Structure 1
Amino acid sequence: MLIAAALLLASCASKPPVSLVTPLPPVANPNQPQPPISPHSQQPMRGVWLTTVSRLDWPPIASVNISNDAVRISQQKKALTDKLDKLKSLGINTVFFQVKPDGTALWPSKILPWSDMMTGKIGRDPGYDPLQFMLDEAHRRGIKVHAWFNPYRVTVNTKPGTVAELNRTLSQNPASVFVLHRDWIRTSGDRYVLDPGIPDARDWITSIVAEVVARYPVDGVQFDDYFYTESPGSVLNDSQTFRQYGQGFASKADWRRHNTQLLIEQVFRTIKQLKPDVEFGVSPAGVWRNRSHDAAGSDTRGAAAYDESYADTRRWVQQGLLDYIAPQIYWPFARDAARYDVLAKWWAEVVKPTKTRLYIGIALYKVGEPSKNEPDWTIGGGVPELKKQLDLNESLPQISGTILFRENYLNQPQTQEAVNYLRKRWGE
């Protein structure tokens, strides 16, 4: 989720190609089923992302080393219910729960091996179903759960130990995609990822989403901002894929955006066929495009989803392919390169003629953290900046709520003034 923040204010030396303004397509395809507006969607979203990759929010790191399964399970479950109790007390009504942090699952999947986040070993059954447990406990407290998927990431590193562990899954059922479809795997951003240009890989991702939607009473599905992810020193090598599938495209960039578009269309259609009431959303980088490269873009300077992740997020909203969009606007009002108010208002204009709801992702992780470039996060414990952001969100009718990144920052000493403020503002 931090790719946007990391890239945005990185050097803009490699200028993205200037393109024509994306033409405005019809707001929605009349043949596509539009989800009914349920009563709960009138409530403002007060959400939080709950991360499992690298056990950043859950499960507790210490729990993984407990040799007694019953004790480990008990500790993991209690940690989660304690978190949900706190979220309820703060007035949080939706949790975005990371069920696919990489090429593994936090439910008993027939497609993906069990996540090593639960036990320390890929493929090892944790002895319970974390997704079902989360759904039961959250719903009991009146909190909705959106299953959050990282679509293309297979691992968070390329270390020999990681490769050895993936290779060991060959004898398991299901085995890792790393050993079953080695031809789909690329290295990018110093991690193993699926090549988004391979149609079978997109079908495979869609089948994973379908498995969750069909089997579990999730309230929604969310993809994060990791579509194409590259770093300057670790670029995705998809030249051969482009030669195979890129006929008819003027540039590799256009072809890549087409691939991301196809995934979004396919997943949206699949969810609506299975359960029309389940919401589908994406949480992209906060900047779609900069106005310097596209007249339709925002008055910002920095990494843009269209050019960096090959994700034409504005187009998905215009075409009615998302029930909601949650751009990560992780900067304060005073950050000239990407002002919070400039971006929030830009997105409000994008969703205005559509049925797509707009939630704003805000940077709880920056609250109370000293920063030379963004000192506002430490003034008054971060409360004045947080208040300004929430006030703006509530003042614009197109903004339907706010999501905090991420859950464990609610428990850190530097955020406590802000957490107390949230409790007064949102709490019961």
Structure 2
Amino acid sequence: MAQHLKRSSVLIAWAFLLASCSSTPPKSLVTPLPPVAKQPLVQKSQRNEPVRGVWLATVSRLDWPPVSSVNGVNPASRNQQQQKALTDKLDNLKSLGINTVFFQVKPDGTALWPSRILPWSDMLTGKIGQDPGYDPLQFMLDEAHKRGMKVHAWFNPYRVSTNTRPGTVAELNRTLSLNPASVFVLHRDWIRTAGDRYVLDPGIPEARDWIASIVAEVVSRYPVDGVQFDDYFYAESAGSALNDNATWRQYGQQFASKADWRRDNTQQLIAQVSRTIKQINPNVEFGVSPAGVWRNRSHDPAGSDTRGAAAYDESFADTRRWVQQGLLDYIAPQLYWPFARDAARYDVLAKWWADVVKPTHTRLYIGVALYKVGEPSSKEPDWTVNGGVPELKKQLDLNESEPQIDGTILFRENNLNQPQAQDAVRYLRSRWGS
């Protein structure tokens, strides 16, 4: 559907410095600064108000739908319960002054809309492929827009399942008789394990085409205000690495290192999806919410003064480059640390990102750790001081005083309902609410 983009060439002068795909990042590497495109894909539109957003997660039913709506209820009762839960949440968000909901429509290899590519999500009914009897994405759009709120469709691009248990494998295999069946059975050669999950191999061009086609389906059929990818690109864990050696041998031999090839794969996905969205509807915003640290200064002079897990080295996502190349309408780094967390200070990172977006057309929204508010932590005690309100206030003050920061997104919706967060919720209502 969307045409393949030409693979980026390797810069010979620094190629030999790139390390192979390992746990040790390359030393003293200055990433070349690509020129800002003369005609950027993305034009910075003027927003009337800053984004005050919240992520609403459906994976594992973290925020919605209610677990009680799935277990042992008839379809009519289930749908009524799910829809009421969603409208109640939207009413509450509206009262808090939230104007944008980042709604997870593709939590894994399933969909929360009647897709021609993905089977229905088991999050809705308990069974992959079972039609819930209504369209949750359309319902969310109708109800949010009725309240004057925007909706960004949030996709996890590569995740196929949240675990690799035999029961999960059996359920995925049972979709073979469905139309559409799961990618797990239709394209078994694209599937790998990583982070104890089934995922797509990002190095397979056809898999990237497939992801772009899913985004195109949503953008062409629904009045979404935006599309967002989260931070799960190469999402490995120490005991569960992604084995893409065969793919690397097939597609990556012109690259100086496996790490550089992986970054190019992620780059190609972002560029392809960006162009796909803009070709269908230039008014739909495209954004990514990456890990908060691009690179640490100890590994790259252009990096931040931090000591955290870096997207460039861990997820093989050169997030700074996407901003510089005009591929994104916005970037929403997850800055989930307090001002006092020396290894990854909130203010240090917020200002670093502000400097990155300044010469570009990309807007900057900051992801804030609502889930930590009120939670005891030996490393981050500030979250519990006076119910976490002083820390939250400092973060919002910085976001609203820094000219390059265009908004705040809270992670995540259900944490607004937790007892330990109620002081912070009252504060948000007094600050943002009408």
TM-score after normalising by structure 2: 0.94
Distance 2:151 2:281 in 1: 15
Deviations 1:272-300 (A, max 9, x none): 00000000000000000000000000000
Q: CA RMSD in A?
A: 1.0
Distance 1:340 1:20 in 2: 25
Name the residue aligned to 1:183: 189
Question: Share of identical aligned residues, percent?
Answer: 83
| Letter of the 1:185 counterpart | I
Aligned pair partner of 2:314 in 295, 305, 308: 308
Show the counterpart of 1:146: 152
Q: Give 5+ residue unaligned stretches, structure 1.
A: 1-12
Structure 2: how far apart are the matches of 1:269 and 1:19?
Answer: 33
Map 1:406-421; keep pairs closer than 5 Å. Answer: 406-421=412-427
- Which residue is 1:388 aligned to? 394
- Secondary structure of the residue that 1:196 maps to in structure 2? coil
Q: Secondary structure at 2:365's aligned position in 1?
A: strand
CA distance in 2, matches of 1:33, 1:249: 26
Uncovered stretches (5+) of structure 2, i.e. residues with no partner: 1-21
Q: What residue identity is the alignment partner of 2:55?
A: W
Q: Distance in 2 between matches of 1:357 and 1:19?
A: 29
Q: Which residue of the partner structure matches residue 360 of structure 1?
A: 366
Q: Which amino acid aligns with 2:397?
A: D
How far has the Cα of 1:20 moved from its partner? 2.4
Structure 1 residue corresponding to 2:113, chosen from 89, 99, 107: 107
Q: Is the aligned partner of 1:260 residue 2:266?
A: yes
Task: Give deviations 1:140-160, integer Å, cap 9, x for gaps.
Answer: 000000000000000000000
Residue type at the aligned position of 1:21: V
Q: Does 1:159 align with 2:154?
A: no
Are residue 425 (structure 1) and residue 422 (structure 2) matched?
no
Residue 247 of structure 1, CA deviation: 1.9
CA contact (8 A) 1:282 1:325 kept: yes
Tell me the residue number matched to 2:221.
215
Partner of 2:409: 403
Kindly provide the amino acid, as one letter, of the partner of residue 325 in structure 1.
I
Contact 1:330 1:340 in 2 (8 A): yes
Matches within 5 A, 1:40-51: 41-51=47-57
Of 26, 37, 41, 2:45 maps to: 37
Q: Deviations along 1:21-78, whole A, 9 cap, x unmatched?
A: 1212122341x4434625xx23101000000000000000010014311100000000
Matched, 1:16 2:25: yes
Equivalent-residue separation in structure 2 for 1:176 and 1:17 (angstroms) = 38
**CA distance in 1 between partners of 2:32 and 2:87 (Å):** 47
Residue 409 of structure 2 aligns to which amino acid in structure 1?
I
Aligned to 1:85: 91
Match of 1:332 among 326, 338, 349: 338
Deviations 1:157-196 (A, max 9, x none): 0000000000000000000000000000000000000000
- Distance in 2, matches of 1:332 and 1:209, equals 34
Contact persistence 2:28–2:298 (CA under 8 A): no
Q: Does residue 321 in structure 1 map to residue 327 in structure 2?
A: yes
State the secondary structure of the residue aligned to 1:308.
Answer: helix
Contact 1:288–1:298 (8 Å) recurs in 2:
yes
Residue identity opposite 2:97 in structure 1 = G
1:4 maps to none
Q: How many residues were matched structurally?
A: 413
TM-score for the superposition, normalised by structure 1: 0.95
Q: In the alignment, is the contact (CA less than 8 A) between 2:41 and 2:326 conserved in 1?
A: no
1:192-203 to structure 2, matched below 5 A, reads: 192-203=198-209
State the distance in 2 between where 1:371 and 1:246 align: 43
Match of 1:275 among 251, 276, 281: 281
Q: Distance in 2 between matches of 1:421 and 1:354?
A: 33
Show the counterpart of 2:8: none
Alignment partner, residue 288 of structure 1: 294
Contact 2:41 2:327 in 1 (8 A): no
C-alpha change, 1:322 and 1:61, in structure 2 (3 Å) is same
